[in-house]
Structure 1
């Protein structure tokens, strides 16, 4: 996967999960991840969209 927005979204969701486990800036991290997912989805192919949907599901469980 060479889509940088896709990579940023994965990283942002990972950071949000970590922030929720530590309690530090959790909501801000979740908001950043939501924005990253939105940007990535608009610029991704079908396979990436499937993976982004799974990441969105993970994010929804956090908030």
Structure 2
């Protein structure tokens, strides 16, 4: 998948997960949410399904 926005969304979600307990986790969660939202409109159906899963991961971090 060559979609740059999709790749960024995945990276931000991973960074937010890795930052659990860290003081900047909320900032990373916010960036991850924005990245997922931005990527969704420009993604294929398969990518959209994966983005929904990433959004679920973000929701569990809150």
TM norm. shorter chain > 0.5: yes
Partner of 2:51: 52
TM-score by length of 1: 0.94
| Distance in 2 between residues matched to 1:19 and 1:43, nearest whole Å | 27
CA RMSD of aligned residues (A): 0.8
1:8-47 correspondence runs (5 A): 8-20=8-20, 22-47=21-46
Structure (1/2) with the larger helix percentage: 1
TM-score by length of 2: 0.95
Structure 2: runs of 5+ lacking an equivalent: none
Hey, which bits of structure 1, 4+ residues long, moved more than 4 A?
Answer: none
